A and B are shown apart, each in its own frame.
Chain A
Amino acid sequence: MGNSPLFKSGHTACAGCGQAIAARLVVEASGANTIIANNTGCLEVFSTKYPETAWGVPWIHSLFENAAAVASGIEAALIYLGKKDTINVIAQGGDGSTGDIGLQALSGMLERGHDILYVCYDNEAYMNTGVQRSGLTPFDTNTTTSPSGARSSGNIRPKKPVPEICVAHGIPYVATASAGFPQDLTRKVKKAISIKGPKYIQIHVPCPLGWRHETNQMLPVAKLAVETGLYPLFEYENGVLVNRRQFTPKPVEEYLKSQGRFKHLLNNPEEIKKIQEIADNNIKKYGLKLEA
């Protein structure tokens, strides 16, 4: 990957950061005629430390949880100015700022029908503050606030189904994507911005620091999440499942042993079984198994 005029090199993301790659793919797919509102989080911090910025498109950060509402204001202003038809508006944030503290603002944005693409970079915990669990942290994950111990095998609940919550809003387009499948991600962003109205894309982005894998393992780890059924990739249009990535499922153990955050589970077949059930349910629900 060469330098990008829209998301420039020199930012301070960690080596192997899935979010940095995904964010770049998103803005490149959307193009120069884009305005971005960004929640507080890793992406905001590593891309815009004063007096520098990585962004080649107009970009604004206000607070942790309000990018969806700030973007709503930007979109309303563009309609007022008669410029909305030529400018894409993107709101973006991490999983915590999207599905926890920012869920209300996101819901409001979706319900009001703004012509905005919301992008959630899902690295499955509050990484910017030091790997605390969020509502989108997977079942049994070891984080600093859901640690494993004699009486705990990690995070006690499965991931909050934010894409499904978005589908329930009756919006025209909802998709999941992965930093491990960049072409698929680019296609989905381009498709989303071609549709008028509120759109939601949730991108699975490995975090070597928080997930505890080698920095050169970002792509294989991301791919394993998809190919075990733990991170299904799908597209909903107007409430209907229109597409999903199919594969020959691999056992979840392969994914779990690739990261330190699941290390405590490796000698615990009972817990691994529970996680395999989550994957199996996804495979069944979305029809992910590639039939011979």
Chain B
Amino acid sequence: MKEFVEGSHAIAQIIQACKPGVISAYPITPQTHIVEDLAQIVANGELKAQFVNVESEHSAASVVLGASATGVRVYTATSSQGLFYMQEVVFNIAGMRLPVVMTCANRAISAPINIWNDQQDSISLRDAGWVQIYAEDNQEAVDFHLIAYRLAEDKRVMLPVMVCMDGFILTHGMETLDLPEQDKVNKFLPNYNPLYKLDPAEPISMGLLADPDYYMEARYAIQETMKSSLGYLSEISSEFNAVFGRDYKDLLVEEYQTKDAEKVIVAMGSVCGTIKEVVDEQRAKGKKVGLLRIITYRPFPYARVYEALKDVSRIAVLDKAVSLGAYAPIAVEMKAAFYGKKKGPKVISSFVGGLGGRDITLESIHEVFRRLTAKEVNSDFIDLKPELLKEEYGK
């Protein structure tokens, strides 16, 4: 069913089709349109769900935690400070192995306060035990939510999944989308049937104190499940393709013109659309360039990245987040993927761009390719305004 629709509206519609029993959220820009639409859908009686308006993100995450533990499919969405405010609960949900699905409308972190897009919020929560999947466009954002529920509720997994979509660029962007029909959704995503739940008929205790004799095994189990999930994502992706006719391959990375490439940009999210355009432009001029798009950031697909880029001589990693005082987040993973391996790029340069909604233009991407020389650079900021730096620090 094709529809010209805003990204947030499409997400609300696909969540409706997934039929969560409890939705809880706290408003934060740019997540708001998603939860406003869901509130209206519930108010109209079009979705039989409890919509719990809470006093904070901490409680939004806690409400879905409690509902999920009671055996019900749940949904929440947030951004930026909201994600940080719920961080404690976010870690807790993963530790308790609850299949919560959340949309992160990616937004910059304060200070300075800034409502526009980068990926610092979700990337900062990379160690939480959530699977993190990043959409390039709104069709993916829609489809990834279906895949997220399938993966989260898979008895082999039982981990929460965060679908990350760039704030404003995707959440407020209008595109023509194929919105999955309900009967196909029902076929792909069966009702949630929990392994354990809070039920007086069969009382269990959840969230127990684990002393040094028990704690590590609980964490190890998540680490192992994370590793196995790399394969489950491929399985679910091919089932998705069978039902909906859209092929996301292994769902880990997308290789775009990488086969014979000499220079490849590695990036994540909506900026990859811009990068593809530049790659096409440069390819037309005979330049051997490409893009490796990271789709699944947690678990990180090291082996897949190695296979894709082992014969490329120069890589530019473009991060829309920083680890202040250290290498940029995706750059770290890329270096780890090749360290000690027989093959691999001679240069892995790291660039930081698009922070706080600074536009990454076609020219920005051309500039990244230009700066990708034999001399490796680390956390090299693109699109900086020298005149502002002068004002601040120049003496």
B48 touches A58 (CB 8 A): no
- A residues 77-117 touching B (CB-CB < 8 Å): 77-81, 87, 104-105, 107-108, 111-112
Nearest-neighbour CB distance to chain B for A171, whole angstroms, equals 15
A74 touches B200 (CB 8 A): no
A250→B229 CA distance, assembly (Å): 66
A65→B86 CA distance, assembly (Å): 12
A residues near B207, Cβ cutoff 8 Å: 48, 60-62
B residues near A70, Cβ cutoff 8 Å: 62-63, 65-66, 69
Of A29-37, A144-152, A238-246, the segment with at least 4 beta carbons within 8 Å of chain B is: A29-37
Asked whether A49 is an interface residue with its Cβ less than 8 Å from the other chain, the reply is yes
- Could you mark each residue 229-245 of chain B with 1 if its beta carbon is under 8 Å from any beta carbon of chain A, else 0? 00000000000000000
B59 touches A105 (CB 8 A): yes
B residues near A59, Cβ cutoff 8 Å: 198, 203-206
A74→B65 CA distance, assembly (Å): 8
B residues near A44, Cβ cutoff 8 Å: 209
A104 touches B206 (CB 8 A): no
A104→B56 CA distance, assembly (Å): 8
A26→B65 CA distance, assembly (Å): 24
Asked whether A134 is an interface residue with its Cβ less than 8 Å from the other chain, the reply is no
A77→B24 CA distance, assembly (Å): 11
B198 touches A73 (CB 8 A): no
A residues near B88, Cβ cutoff 8 Å: 63
A69 touches B54 (CB 8 A): yes
Asked whether A13 is an interface residue with its Cβ less than 8 Å from the other chain, the reply is no
B71 touches A77 (CB 8 A): yes
A69 touches B62 (CB 8 A): yes
A35 touches B206 (CB 8 A): no
Asked whether B55 is an interface residue with its Cβ less than 8 Å from the other chain, the reply is yes
Nearest-neighbour CB distance to chain B for A144, whole angstroms, equals 22
B21 touches A81 (CB 8 A): yes
A residues near B56, Cβ cutoff 8 Å: 104-105, 108
Asked whether B362 is an interface residue with its Cβ less than 8 Å from the other chain, the reply is no
B22 touches A77 (CB 8 A): yes
B54 touches A74 (CB 8 A): no
A56→B207 CA distance, assembly (Å): 15
Q: Which residue of B lies closest to A81 (CB)?
A: B72
Cβ-defined partner of A55 (8 Å) among B69, B96, B203, B211: B203
Given contacts A45-B209, A73-B64, contact A80 B198 (CB under 8 A): no
A104→B198 CA distance, assembly (Å): 25
B208 touches A35 (CB 8 A): no
Q: Which residue of A lies closest to B196 (CB)?
A: A58
Asked whether B58 is an interface residue with its Cβ less than 8 Å from the other chain, the reply is yes
A77 touches B200 (CB 8 A): no
A residues near B66, Cβ cutoff 8 Å: 37, 60, 62, 69-74, 76-77
A34 touches B200 (CB 8 A): yes
A108→B22 CA distance, assembly (Å): 17
Cβ-defined partner of B214 (8 Å) among A50, A69, A104: A50
- B residues 43-64 touching A (CB-CB < 8 Å): 48-50, 52-56, 58-59, 62-64
Given contacts A61-B206, A62-B96, contact A33 B70 (CB under 8 A): no
A66→B205 CA distance, assembly (Å): 17
Cβ-defined partner of A74 (8 Å) among B48, B53, B69, B89: B69
A residues near B214, Cβ cutoff 8 Å: 50-51
Asked whether A215 is an interface residue with its Cβ less than 8 Å from the other chain, the reply is no
B55 touches A76 (CB 8 A): no
A73 touches B24 (CB 8 A): yes
Asked whether B92 is an interface residue with its Cβ less than 8 Å from the other chain, the reply is yes
Nearest-neighbour CB distance to chain A for B84, whole angstroms, equals 15
Nearest-neighbour CB distance to chain B for A82, whole angstroms, equals 10
Cβ-defined partner of B54 (8 Å) among A78, A87, A108: A108
- Could you mark each residue 63-104 of chain B with 1 if its beta carbon is under 8 Å from any beta carbon of chain A, else 0? 111111111101000000000000011001000100000000
Given contacts A50-B208, A59-B205, A60-B207, contact A74 B67 (CB under 8 A): yes
Nearest-neighbour CB distance to chain A for B60, whole angstroms, equals 8
Q: Which residue of A lies closest to B24 (CB)?
A: A73
- B residues 183-242 touching A (CB-CB < 8 Å): 198-200, 203-211, 214
Additional A-B contact list (14), CB under 8 Å, known A50-B208, A69-B58: A35-B200, A45-B209, A60-B66, A60-B69, A60-B207, A62-B92, A62-B96, A73-B74, A74-B66, A77-B21, A80-B48, A81-B71, A87-B200, A104-B58
Instruction: Mark A residues whose CB is within 8 Å of B.
Output: 32-35, 37, 44-45, 48-51, 53, 55-63, 65-66, 68-74, 76-81, 87, 104-105, 107-108, 111-112
Minimum-distance CB pairs A-B, first 6: A73-B66, A69-B62, A108-B55, A77-B70, A61-B207, A70-B66
* Subset of 10 A-B contacts with CB under 8 Å: A32-B203, A33-B200, A59-B203, A60-B69, A62-B62, A66-B58, A72-B52, A74-B67, A104-B58, A108-B54
Instruction: Mark B residues whose CB is within 8 Å of A.
Output: 21-22, 24, 48-50, 52-56, 58-59, 62-72, 74, 88-89, 92, 96, 198-200, 203-211, 214
